[in-house]
Structure 1
């Protein structure tokens, strides 16, 4: 692969670093620029273009290709200006497709929730079946970093990545579909279309659907030809997988659904039932996904990756019989908390502490639909834990499952989750 003109990296995260390494390996003398929406970009061997100077740089055609990081919305007006100037916009994933897609089996997994767990399980199941499989995307490594190292590549892909993915997977899988990421996509409808772009394509590829995706009319339309669907698991295979999950670290009905979908994908791409069972046994929960700790007799559950009400509902369902203090709320993405509020009491929630800004809506809905639950509206995570300390006798489990992103108070969900665990440690550890 050769580049005839300089390249601009828009964004400076993990994918941008792997893109820069790929370009250096392909063409050491290639001129590479970088721009970020704020701050400085620590990308080696690049020249930074200030974001305010980007329109002029596009007009002057200082570069001939833009490689956009996933977190940068493709709907920014600057990208339309670039296309009008004849400058294409691509991604780390699409560069991988151009360089390495040939002669590889590609499994691409997306969905509003559960995609990381499902992709991790598929990878474990395939490797335990003796197959040469790698894991990339939002878990594992960046696409260009995995390169041509494996015969099978399992990609965990966000809607940011599927929106302009320009090559086909051999197996395209969707776990579920709920409203999310409206700020990036501009509307729920466009989020759905960008997410479903993984399957709503012409071409010869198989499709696998999670339990929550199968009854969705939008998904059914996107699949087009239902002969694409992988064969269902047999009753015996279902029983074997359910038994394996019951003895594993996979907690909750939603994770059983993830395991069943992963098994269907693994069997459809050469995995064995024995390898599937071994993969389930080998699974370890990913950080910030129902990550458990115990401090001073209190079970502390870090589910900071939860950014939708559906994810919060799944987290609560994973702890039946507990008396739960829930901490929820965060960045505004037009989330609807009415249904979640109606489920709180039956899921064992006794106390709710809500965080700005969406916590205001959750608190109002909880007071209306679950009047027997203590509700605390607090300004930040520290205040939430202080409020819970005052009613310590009302719960045995604290779950941080915000049902919203973290950007209004934290850099990312990882920072939010780590802060939560540390605050619990200092307050509840004897």
Structure 2
């Protein structure tokens, strides 16, 4: 666990920033706003002048500092990071620094293998609908410590990745957990490391956990959820969620988790059924999360590019029960087990699966082994898979991009992958 250090504690120290992605640049802006010079800027793949490569003098520069502020993508299990800490250099993250100095009674962190972005967006929408001000940040949107982030807010709703959770020493008032399945195994060095790190926020002193009844996975890890747990199921009245306009039972559960977290946090009106139903109206949803992008000759095209592991992909397919579905899967291969995908899709009628690089061949092999009755095809890439799915749909059903894998490698990010999907659909519509 990293030490308990806040941003203000960095005054007078020799500080380095390691990793210069979106959060790394927010870290630089924060240090500049505090008037603290940055002794070294280091990245594994430098894109700017004045940035040292980690393997080409950067690690030595980090070792000469009093503290290193790292980006979430740099794994705490890396040998070079562990060597820094063994040499007496604390390695901390922006979220941990912020929480150490924040009014944590007004903070909820939302995590989970799937659903955390949607749940964060729902929670922020509900807070606004209840007449309160919220900052939605962290892994979703702007970092709360970024000088560009608004500070005149009543509540902080912070999406927290498993990467960021390992940087946190002091927890928020409430942690919401939406789901649990294998993900990011390369970063966490296997499934047990991922499960432990993903749920680590719940074990911080004083945290109250709001946890979805999401199959057996979270119940099996109940010992990792801390002493104060409120379980959330879809039983009872869910009529207030209709105003959100979301597809799928899993999103109803996400909405229930969002509301319960706000009630636990003490947001005024969150426990009032009439007010929460009114607050739910007008939710715009998220791009690349079960969003219909168009129809061509009777076939609907749905972008779910944010689904980067098995659970959200199965949930996405479930959202279209009773319809023919051409499912597009595959992307960066993180080594996760795709047997659960095969088990979840086995026996489904009206389903064809189109497998794309890089993980496509491995997904196809898992489906052929675990769901031999499925129509499974390998494709050269996303445009080819989209066209093949459209031809298979033959004037009816859904072409669903829900990859069960991240976009790294072939695309800059999930939005770039979505843009390629949209462009292909536009070409089909014009042909």
State the TM-score, normalized to the length of structure 2: 0.88
- Aligned residue for 2:253, secondary structure, equals helix
Aligned match of 1:256: 252
- For residues 53-103 of structure 1, what are the alpha-carbon distances to aligned partners after superposition, in whole Å with 9 as ceiling and x for unaligned? 1233244x1x2221111112122222122212322111111221234x136
User: Structure 1 residue aligned with 2:263, among 260, 267, 272?
Assistant: 267
Aligned match of 2:38: 31
Q: How does 1:360-399 map to 2 (within 5 A)?
A: 360-368=361-369, 370-371=371-372, 373-393=374-394, 395-399=396-400
Aligned match of 1:69: 71
Change beyond 3 A, Cα 1:215–1:15: closer
Aligned match of 1:189: 192
- Aligned residue for 1:144, secondary structure, equals coil
Change beyond 3 A, Cα 1:334–1:167: same
Partners of 1:341 and 1:205 lie apart in 2 by 36
Partners of 1:377 and 1:215 lie apart in 2 by 31
Task: Quote the offset at 1:280 in angstroms.
Answer: 2.5
- Aligned residue for 1:93, secondary structure, equals helix
Partners of 1:155 and 1:292 lie apart in 2 by 27
- Aligned residue for 2:394, secondary structure, equals helix
Please list every run of 5 or more consecutive structure 2 residues that lacks an aligned counterpart in the other structure: 1-7
Partners of 1:121 and 1:339 lie apart in 2 by 28
Q: How does 1:43-58 map to 2 (within 5 A)?
A: 47-51=50-54, 52-58=56-62
- Aligned residue for 1:263, secondary structure, equals helix
Partners of 1:335 and 1:215 lie apart in 2 by 16
- Aligned residue for 1:361, secondary structure, equals helix
- Aligned residue for 2:312, secondary structure, equals helix
Aligned match of 2:5: none
- For residues 293-331 of structure 1, what are the alpha-carbon distances to aligned partners after superposition, in whole Å with 9 as ceiling and x for unaligned? 223232111111111111110000011221111110122
- Aligned residue for 1:301, secondary structure, equals strand
Aligned match of 1:107: 108
Please list every run of 5 or more consecutive structure 1 residues that lacks an aligned counterpart in the other structure: none
Q: How does 1:6-405 map to 2 (within 5 A)?
A: 6-27=14-35, 30-41=37-48, 47-51=50-54, 52-59=56-63, 61=64, 63-99=65-101, 101-102=102-103, 104-145=105-146, 146=149, 148-201=151-204, 203-212=205-214, 216-225=218-227, 228-230=228-230, 238-239=236-237, 242-268=238-264, 269-270=266-267, 271=270, 272-296=272-296, 297-344=298-345, 347-368=348-369, 370-371=371-372, 373-393=374-394, 395-405=396-406
Contact 1:108–1:155 (CA under 8 A) maintained in structure 2: yes
Task: Quote the offset at 1:385 in angstroms.
Answer: 2.7
- For residues 311-370 of structure 1, what are the alpha-carbon distances to aligned partners after superposition, in whole Å with 9 as ceiling and x for unaligned? 110000011221111110122222333343344365554322101232223323434555
Partners of 1:370 and 1:233 lie apart in 2 by 29
Partners of 2:244 and 2:219 lie apart in 1 by 33
Partners of 1:279 and 1:262 lie apart in 2 by 13
Partners of 1:33 and 1:394 lie apart in 2 by 58
Contact 2:234–2:252 (CA under 8 A) maintained in structure 1: no
RMSD: 2.5
Change beyond 3 A, Cα 1:233–1:396: closer
- Aligned residue for 1:81, secondary structure, equals helix
User: How many residues end up aligned between the 2 structures?
Assistant: 415
Contact 1:320–1:348 (CA under 8 A) maintained in structure 2: no
Partners of 1:116 and 1:301 lie apart in 2 by 18
Contact 2:292–2:301 (CA under 8 A) maintained in structure 1: yes
Contact 1:206–1:229 (CA under 8 A) maintained in structure 2: yes
Task: Quote the offset at 1:394 in angstroms.
Answer: 6.9
- Aligned residue for 1:419, secondary structure, equals helix
